[in-house]
């Protein structure tokens, strides 16, 4: 049996456990090292996943371990710094969690460094591996609901949180369509953060895809009991479909009632085992068995660009054309220049319940 790919994980929190399950479920990978700046988090993870080599400093892990694959599992503002630092050690692949970065400039820098160091770069939109998402894409490509016309996704707790999965799904369902324009609106009266970066209290974005297909991404708009989904409702000229997490149902004109798709995978990871599929696909990509890895960084960047365009449209009060020219995070710019002022001062973070101490300070 060939030697296994040596995997190192940066940050040992909740999503690192999903990555851990994925790498463990793949027979071509072995988790050889874990890094976390919080000693207790580090020790707990190491014992849970039986990892011998523990590091408080992820750069030291990169220096000493000669890793083939690196998982970047820390908070959003650290994705760029950690990915760029890891890439300079030339692992075969990096899997960075979503959202890919906090600005388009960061995302571009991450991709450039990976390319120049010959590193395959994946972003953790693992839901692309759900059988229901793949089936939805196939049905649309086969014309089952006619011409797709409108896609609608409603999320909670920040567009940059689950919204990135939903936007990624809209693009995925449309065959990885590149959006052409975005019209956005943002409400931010409180000093609101997510994983240590600014987000909106509420927002809504209309996304223009090719062929006059339009998508909606909205965050925190419905009142109690309203519809939220991790996917989208898609309306076509001859039918419709609803995708929520790993479930899919669809209705086709002329046929009675909903048809329900049964997901084909088991649920070992709690995510339809998408993390194991993700791990296997990354190995296939490294080994040259596939060229077109479904979660490549370019798709992470495309989802991020749409979210940044929602903010930029709200800042400039205009329909923003893509590709987006603004490399900074437009929400930061809007807040710092007084275009969207904080009216109820006092920073708070959607994920403050995860803060374990001084090692992870999120206040600015
Ligand atoms: N793909 C998904 O479905 C999904 C789901 C949940 C979270 N996420 C993403 O995963 C990321 C992490 O979220 P989480 O919920 O696991 O957070 P978490 O707070 O549970 O874990 C973060 C860990 O990072 C560690 N850390 C902080 N600074 C560090 C440093 N400098 N070096 C090493 N470790 C450091 C912390 O000590 C903590 O253990 C976020 O970007 C989030 O968006 C993705």
pLDDT score of 353 more than 90: no
Mutate to test the pocket of ligand 1, among 8, 9, 10, 11 (most ligand atoms within 8 A of CB): 11
Specify if 191 maps to a domain.
yes
Distance 138 CA to ligand 1 centre (A): 33
Looking at residue 269, what is its pLDDT? 57
Q: Is the CB of 14 under 6 A from ligand 1?
A: yes
Ligand 1 nearest-atom number relative to CA 12: 39
Task: Tell the residue number behind the tokens 């409108």, with chain if given.
Answer: 150
Cα four-point dihedral sign 328, 330, 335, 337:
positive
Give, as one character, the DSSP assignment of residue 153.
Answer: E
Note the pLDDT tens digit of each residue in 289-321. 999 999 999 999 999 999 999 999 999 999 999
Distance 231 CA to ligand 1 centre (A): 22
Q: Is the domain of 153 the same as that of 180?
A: yes
- Beta pairing, strands 69-72 & 5-10: parallel
Distance 232 CA to ligand 1 centre (A): 26
Q: Is the domain of 15 the same as that of 47?
A: yes
Specify if 364 maps to a domain.
no
CATH number at residue 165: 3.30.360.10
Distance 100 CA to ligand 1 centre (A): 13
The C-alpha atoms of residue 18 and residue 26 are separated, in whole angstroms, by 13
User: What are phi and psi for residue 356, nearest 5 degrees?
Assistant: -105, -5
Q: Is the domain of 98 the same as that of 138?
A: no
Distance 105 CA to ligand 1 centre (A): 21
* Region of residue 204 (left: phi > 0; alpha: psi -120 to 50; beta: else): beta
Q: Is the domain of 285 the same as that of 308?
A: no
Nearest CA to ligand 1 atom 29: 37
Q: Is the domain of 251 the same as that of 330?
A: yes
> Which residues face 151 on adjacent strands?
215, 234
- Beta pairing, strands 247-252 & 181-187: unpaired
Note the pLDDT tens digit of each residue in 107-121. 999 999 999 999 999
Do 92 and 72 contact (CB within 8 A), yes or no? Answer: no
Specify if 260 maps to a domain.
yes
Ligand 1 nearest-atom number relative to CA 38: 37
Q: Is the domain of 99 the same as that of 21?
A: yes
Looking at residue 320, what is its pLDDT? 98
Specify if 285 maps to a domain.
yes
Q: Is the CB of 71 under 6 A from ligand 1?
A: no
Nearest CA to ligand 1 atom 30: 37
Mutate to test the pocket of ligand 1, among 360, 361, 362 (most ligand atoms within 8 A of CB): 360
Nearest CA to ligand 1 atom 27: 360
Report residue 267's pLDDT band, with 50, 70 and 90 as the boundaries. Answer: low
Distance 22 CA to ligand 1 centre (A): 16
Q: Which SS3 state, helix, strand or coil, does residue 351 take? A: coil
Ligand 1 nearest-atom number relative to CA 124: 1
The C-alpha atoms of residue 201 and residue 221 are separated, in whole angstroms, by 9
Q: Is the domain of 215 the same as that of 337?
A: yes
CA distances, 292 to each of 29, 121, 122, 296 (Å)? 20, 12, 11, 8
Do 7 and 23 contact (CB within 8 A), yes or no? Answer: yes
Query: Taking the CB of residue 268, how many other CB atoms lie within 10 A of it?
Result: 14
Report residue 271's pLDDT band, with 50, 70 and 90 as the boundaries. Answer: low
Of 249, 281, 296, which closes a domain?
296
Note the pLDDT tens digit of each residue in 43-65. 999 999 999 999 999 999 999 99
Query: Taking the CB of residue 200, how many other CB atoms lie within 10 A of it?
Result: 25
Specify if 159 maps to a domain.
yes
Report residue 268's pLDDT band, with 50, 70 and 90 as the boundaries. Answer: low
Ligand 1 nearest-atom number relative to CA 79: 41
Lowest-pLDDT range, 8-22, 181-195, 349-363? 349-363
Nearest CA to ligand 1 atom 15: 14
pTM of the model: 0.96
Specify if 185 maps to a domain.
yes
Of 255, 279, 296, which closes a domain?
296
The C-alpha atoms of residue 93 and residue 352 are separated, in whole angstroms, by 31
Q: Which residues contact 298 (CB under 8 A, 6 or more apart)?
A: 111
The C-alpha atoms of residue 56 and residue 39 are separated, in whole angstroms, by 7
Report residue 364's pLDDT band, with 50, 70 and 90 as the boundaries. Answer: very low
- State how many domains the chain has: 2
Q: What is the mean pLDDT of residues 334-354?
A: 93
Distance 333 CA to ligand 1 centre (A): 25
Q: Is the CB of 360 under 6 A from ligand 1?
A: yes
Q: Is the domain of 16 the same as that of 68?
A: yes
Q: Is the domain of 39 the same as that of 143?
A: no
Distance 91 CA to ligand 1 centre (A): 21
Q: Which SS3 state, helix, strand or coil, does residue 21 take? A: helix
Distance 320 CA to ligand 1 centre (A): 31
Q: Is the domain of 9 the same as that of 153?
A: no
Structural domain boundaries enclosing 333: 128-265+302-352
Nearest CA to ligand 1 atom 18: 13
- Beta pairing, strands 213-219 & 231-236: unpaired
Specify if 361 maps to a domain.
no
Q: Is the domain of 232 the same as that of 218?
A: yes
Looking at residue 357, what is its pLDDT? 66
Task: Tell the residue number behind the tokens 């707790």, with chain if given.
Answer: 157
Q: Is the domain of 167 the same as that of 315?
A: yes
Q: Is the CB of 122 under 6 A from ligand 1?
A: no
CA distances, 165 to each of 51, 64, 83, 217, 229 (Å)? 30, 34, 20, 11, 10
Q: Which residues contact 224 (CB under 8 A, 6 or more apart)?
A: none
Specify if 116 maps to a domain.
yes
Note the pLDDT tens digit of each residue in 197-249. 999 999 999 999 999 999 999 999 988 778 888 999 999 999 999 999 999 99
CATH number at residue 40: 3.40.50.720
CA distances, 242 to each of 172, 231, 273, 353 (Å)? 14, 8, 21, 32
Looking at residue 359, what is its pLDDT? 44
CA 93 to chain centre: 17
Distance 75 CA to ligand 1 centre (A): 5
Note the pLDDT tens digit of each residue in 159-203. 999 999 999 999 999 999 999 999 999 999 999 999 999 999 999
Q: What is the dihedral of CA 75, 186, 309, 216, to 10 degrees?
A: 100
Q: Which residues contact 339 (CB under 8 A, 6 or more apart)?
A: 315, 333
CA angle 268, 272, 275 (to 5 degrees): 75
Mean pLDDT computed over every residue of the chain:
94
């Amino acid at each position: 049996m060939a030697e296994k790919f040596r995997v190192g994980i940066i940050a040992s929190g909740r999503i690192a456990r999903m990555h851990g399950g994925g790498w463990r479920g793949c027979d071509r990978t072995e988790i050889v090292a874990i890094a976390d700046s919080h000693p207790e988090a580090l020790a707990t993870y190491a014992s849970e996943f039986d990892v011998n080599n523990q590091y408080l400093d992820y750069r030291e892990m990169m220096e000493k371990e000669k890793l083939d694959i690196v998982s970047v599992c820390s908070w959003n503002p650290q994705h760029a710094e950690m990915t760029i630092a890891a890439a300079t050690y030339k692992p075969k692949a990096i899997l960075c969690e979503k959202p890919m970065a906090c600005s388009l400039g960061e995302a571009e820098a991450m991709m450039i460094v990976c390319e120049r160091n010959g590193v395959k770069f994946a972003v953790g939109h693992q839901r692309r591996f759900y059988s229901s998402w793949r089936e939805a894409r196939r049905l649309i490509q086969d014309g089952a609901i006619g011409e797709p016309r409108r896609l609608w996704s409603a999320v909670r707790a920040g567009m940059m949180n689950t919204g990135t999965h939903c936007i990624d799904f809209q693009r995925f369902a449309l065959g990885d369509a590149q959006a052409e324009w975005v019209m956005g609106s943002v409400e931010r009266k409180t000093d609101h953060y997510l994983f240590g970066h600014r987000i909106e209290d509420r927002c809504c974005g209309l996304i223009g895809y090719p062929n006059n297909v339009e998508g909606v991404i909205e965050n925190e708009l419905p009142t109690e009991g309203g519809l939220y989904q991790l996917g989208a409702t898609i309306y076509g000229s001859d039918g419709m479909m609803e995708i929520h997490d790993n479930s899919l149902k669809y209705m086709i004109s002329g046929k009675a009632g909903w048809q329900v798709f049964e997901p084909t995978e088991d649920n070992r990871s709690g995510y339809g085992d998408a993390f194991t599929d993700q791990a296997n696909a990354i190995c296939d990509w490294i080994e040259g068995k596939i060229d077109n890895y479904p979660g490549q960084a370019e798709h992470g960047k495309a989802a991020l660009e749409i979210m940044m365009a929602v903010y930029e449209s709200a800042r400039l009060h205009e329909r923003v054309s893509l590709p987006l020219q603004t490399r900074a995070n437009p929400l930061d710019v809007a807040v710092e220049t007084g275009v969207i002022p904080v009216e109820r001062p006092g920073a708070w973070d959607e994920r403050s319940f995860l803060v374990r101490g001084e090692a992870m300070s999120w206040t600015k």
